[in-house]
Amino acid sequence: FNNPHAKHGRQAIVHLFEWKWNDIAAECERFLAPKGYAGVQISPPTESILLTSPWRPWWERYQPISYNLCSRSGNESELRDMITRCNNVGVNIYVDAVINHMCGAGGGEGTHSTCGTYFSAKNRDFPSIPFSGFDFNEGKCKSASGDIENYNDINQVRDCRLVSLLDLALEKDYVRGKVADYMNNLIDMGVAGFRVDASKHMWPGDLTVIYGSLHNLNTRWFNGGARPFMFQEVIDMGGEAIQASDYFPLGRVTEFKYGAKIGNVFRKWNGEKLSYTKNWGEGWGFMPDGNALVFIDNHDNQRGHGGGGSAILTFWDARIYKMAVAYMLAHPYGVARVMSSFRWNRADDWQGPPSHEDGSTKDVQVNADDTCGDGWVCEHRWRQITNMATFRNVVDGQPHSNWWDNGNNQVAFGRGNRGFIVFNNDDWHLDVTLNTGMPGGTYCDVISGQRDGERCTGKTINVGDDGRAHFKISNTEEDPMVAIHADSKL
Ligand code: LAG
Ligand code: CA
């Protein structure tokens, strides 16, 4: 369950948050495959509650009311078409699976759902699956309110309602079977795995049984016997009864400390310095490399939900955000996920994706210069980020090497003889000759530009036959970093 099954040596996953299936299909073909992204994490594909107060929040999708594949992103045939088209160009699809709960207890009853299916939150009745009162943990939960009140009580965290969301009794064979049917339907369509929402709130033993009943991946696109890639969403910043390690036997786990720490490093908060990241990864108390799914920000903590607090870097802090994403993509630790966001009014963290008056999501508009418009941020298309996703592919399998630092916020490291990156996050110039470990020649910096045939649209770096190169990076540059790799050699 720890293998993303990436094709063609591709490495990075991108979360196309709230994108419609038709747009993702087009993006796989026109951008993700050519640039070398390994896969896409999609928003929850099931029918969910439809909320109007506040107006169509992004989080309505975390309140399923049926397992019909009919959501704000599109219907089942559009979903199927996207999976097929992305697989055909070697880009995997990972589904955000919301299986811990259904909608909130106060969700009412009626047909206010994304495809008009009837449900009754009050009677715990979801007839299209069907789930009824017997299928929820209300009898098992021991907190006074029925909601999770104490995160140090493991039973409460797993048997009570997370922010009032009706908690499924995953110990029941019947419920496990319905959840597995939903996931197997997607596997059979060709998805490569799942982000498992709210994993902390489910018993590892229940998940073991559910995962055990999942089909192998579809052999039209994957090797026989391939198991789905599973990454559990567990927020473990330390200090709670439930730990990320409880989920290691089940697959990968989100490493939330990664983004929180890197935010402090690049913001220079709490006395952190870039030079301290020489032993970045397990040396910083993160989980073992083979278990980690890493990211700078996610759809929750970029807007103050979930873990990480104000240190989390997002596209709103573009300059140091690009540096942090570049650092992640250059560094060998973990399976890396890039965030791709929509803009929102920061006072209204509930705001849903760019949409029309009737609430339907807008198409992603792509501009001539490869950026996006109409409220879509498309960080994954920012040159510095796209080119570093390529860098990660080029240096795959190479060790972290040739570390250098100035004892402050100027650092550099390489990846064997395949790539080298230099950062200047100090308030003064960087001017230094370093051993890159790379073969001699002229390389194109993939941050300020990229190689275009024989030509370089950005800075060029001359590496001598001894592997040494001179780097000058002003602290006032737009992007105070330089990266070269084997495929950027002129
Ligand atoms: C997750 N991971 O474990 C998701 O990443 C996160 O986005 C989900 O919460 C959460 N688990 C449940 O799937 C999001 C919002 C919540 C929202 C919830 C359900 O962060 O704010 O709760 O989705 O839509 C909202 C209200 C609550 C209310 C609840 C039920 O904010 O006040 O109690 O709905 O009505
Ligand atoms: Ca639960």
Taking only the tens place, the pLDDT of each residue in 320-350 is 999 999 999 999 999 999 999 999 999 999 9
Tell me, using a 6 A CB cutoff, whether residue 104 lines ligand 1. Answer: yes
Catalytic residue at 78? no
Pocket probe mutation, ligand 1, options 18, 101, 165, max atoms within 8 Å of Cβ: 165
Q: How far apart are CA 291 and CA 251, in angstroms?
A: 7
- Per the CB < 8 A criterion, the answer to whether 406 and 412 are in contact is no
User: For the range 110-113, what are the long-range contacts, defined as Cβ-Cβ under 8 Å and sequence gap of 24 or more?
Assistant: 112/49, 112/50, 112/51, 112/52, 113/47, 113/48, 113/49, 113/50, 113/65, 113/66
What residue owns the CA closest to ligand 1's atom 32?
A: 163
Length of the chain: 490
Ligand approaching nearest to the C-alpha of 207: 2
Report strand pairing: 119-120 vs 109-110.
antiparallel
pLDDT tens by residue, 46-81: 999 999 999 999 999 999 999 999 999 999 999 999
Residue with the smallest CA separation from ligand 1 atom 20 is 305
* 98 close to ligand 1 (CB < 6 Angstrom): yes
In this model, does residue 308 exceed pLDDT 90?
no
Residue 96 Cβ < 6 Å to ligand 1: no
Q: How far is the CA of 449 from the centre of ligand 2 (A)?
A: 48
The average pLDDT across 421-450 equals 98
Nearest ligand by distance to the CA of 165: 1
CA of 289 to the centre of ligand 2 (A): 27
Contacts of 247 (CB under 8 A, 6+ apart): 199, 204, 207, 232, 234, 253
Kindly identify the ligand whose nearest atom is closest to the C-alpha of 62.
Answer: 1
Is 62's C-beta closer than 6 angstroms to any atom of ligand 1?
yes
Write down the catalytic residue from 47, 78, 135, 233: 233
Pocket test of ligand 1: the residue of 43, 100, 102, 163 to mutate, having most ligand atoms within 8 Å of its CB, is 163
User: What would the two tokens of residue 477 be?
Assistant: 């540059």
**Mind listing the pLDDT tens digit for each residue in 170-203?**
999 999 999 999 999 999 999 999 999 999 999 9
Ligand 1 mean position, distance from CA 436 (Å)? 46
Ligand nearest to the CA of 100: 2
Question: How many percent of the chain have pLDDT more than 90?
Answer: 99
3-state SS, 162-215, equals: HHHEEEECCCCHHHHHHHHHHHHHHHHHCCCEEEECCHHHCCHHHHHHHHHCCC
Q: How far is the CA of 103 from the centre of ligand 1 (A)?
A: 9
159 CA to centre of ligand 2 in angstroms: 5
Measure the CA–CA gap between 36 and 389, rounded to whole angstroms: 7
Q: Quick one: pLDDT at residue 91?
A: 99
Looking at residue 133, its pLDDT comes to 97
pTM of the model: 0.97
ipTM score of complex: 0.90
**Of residues 197, 236, 297, 479, which has the active-site annotation?**
197
The answer to whether the CB of 429 is under 6 A from ligand 1 is no
pLDDT level of residue 306 (50, 70, 90 thresholds): confident
- Ligand 1 neighbourhood includes 54 CB (under 6 angstroms): no
CA 446 to centroid of ligand 2, rounded, Å: 45
Q: Is the CB of residue 198 below 6 angstroms from any atom belonging to ligand 1?
A: yes
The closest residue, in CA terms, to atom 28 on ligand 1 is 163
Question: Is the CB of residue 470 less than 8 Å from the CB of residue 482?
Answer: no
The atom of ligand 1 lying closest to the CA of 350 is: 21
pLDDT mean across residues, the chain: 98
Residue 101 CA: nearest ligand 1 atom is 13
Q: What angle do CA 317, 41, 170 make, to 5 degrees?
A: 120
Is any ligand 1 atom within 6 A of the Cβ of residue 305? yes
Q: How far is the CA of 337 from the centre of ligand 1 (A)?
A: 21
Is-catalytic flag, 233? yes
- Mean pLDDT to the nearest integer, 28-35: 98
- Separation of alpha carbons 446 and 456, rounded Å: 9
CB 485 within 8 A of CB 451: no
pLDDT of amino acid 307: 78
Q: 168 CA to middle of ligand 2, Å? A: 6
Average pLDDT over residues 354-363: 97
Q: Identify the bridge partners of residue 232 per DSSP, sorted by sequence position.
A: 196, 253
Q: Is 16 in the pocket of ligand 1 (CB under 6 A)?
A: no
For the chain, give the secondary structure using H, E and C: CCCCCCCCCCCCEEEECCCCHHHHHHHHHHHHHHHCCCEEEECCCCCEECCCCCCCCHHHHHCECCCCCCECCECHHHHHHHHHHHHHCCCEEEEEECCCEEEECCCCEECCECCCCCEECCCCEECCCCECHHHEHHHCCCCCCCECCCCCCHHHHHHCEHHHEEEECCCCHHHHHHHHHHHHHHHHHCCCEEEECCHHHCCHHHHHHHHHCCCCCCCCCCCCCCCCEEEECCCCCCCCCCCHHHHHHHCEEECHHHHHHHHHHHHCCCCCCHHHHHHCCHHHCCCCHHHEEECCCCCCHHHCCCCCHHHCCCHHHHHHHHHHHHHHHHCCCCEEEEEECECCCCCCCCCCCCECCCCCECCCEECCCCCEECCECCHHHCHHHHHHHHHHHHCCCCCEEEEEECCCCEEEEEECCCEEEEEECCCCCEEEEEECCCCCEEEECCCCCCEECCEECCCEEEECCCCEEEEEECCCCCCCEEEEEHHHEC
Mean pLDDT over 84-98 rounds to 99
Nearest protein CA to atom 30 of ligand 1, as residue: 104
